[in-house]
Structure 1
């Protein structure tokens, strides 16, 4: 498994003691793309893989929290995933992230990028 795995199922996984700060979506995109280009050599970039996975998990968790908070107050959430586990592999996630224009990615954090990706994949 030399790819950066970004799974929606991990959004509900418990985080470690350290919670990643929100990373700029363009920074995440550039770092993940650079890592993907390494192919099998990406295995030697465990620190980078861990940093990106932690950020992806934290963004997924925050997106989920926002959706649940909207539901709790009776607002319409921005995305509506199906019941049960919903997964997205790293290739699909990166394609959807790349579909957000670079100038826009530079202005938003990974939580907002994740919400936008999920809103397209799972509209309400």
Structure 2
């Protein structure tokens, strides 16, 4: 894996969890506070979530292009962006894949064949 592909995957992974948090804060907490109190956090939370969502989609498309994912995998990551806590699943899957790649790289370097 070249450095640009690794960077694209890392960027995507790093924005996935904050996007999920922002979505989670916006839906249940923001809407409930807006309806039950005079405090309305939706404009601020909505703006933050919108920015993180756009970054998620852009970084996902960049990672999809650079890593040459099959369509099924790329679409899965895009669908996870609209699930309220889907970003957590995306981040966890990407982290595991990165760890597996590091382990495989070390095994190849040391001459271990599985």
- Does the TM-score normalized on the shorter chain lie above 0.5? no
Q: Considering Cα pairs closer than 8 Å and 6+ residues apart, tell me whether 1 or 2 has the greater RCO.
A: 1
Question: Larger % of helix: which?
Answer: 2
Max Rg structure: 2
What TM-score, normalized to structure 1? 0.35
What TM-score, normalized to structure 2? 0.37
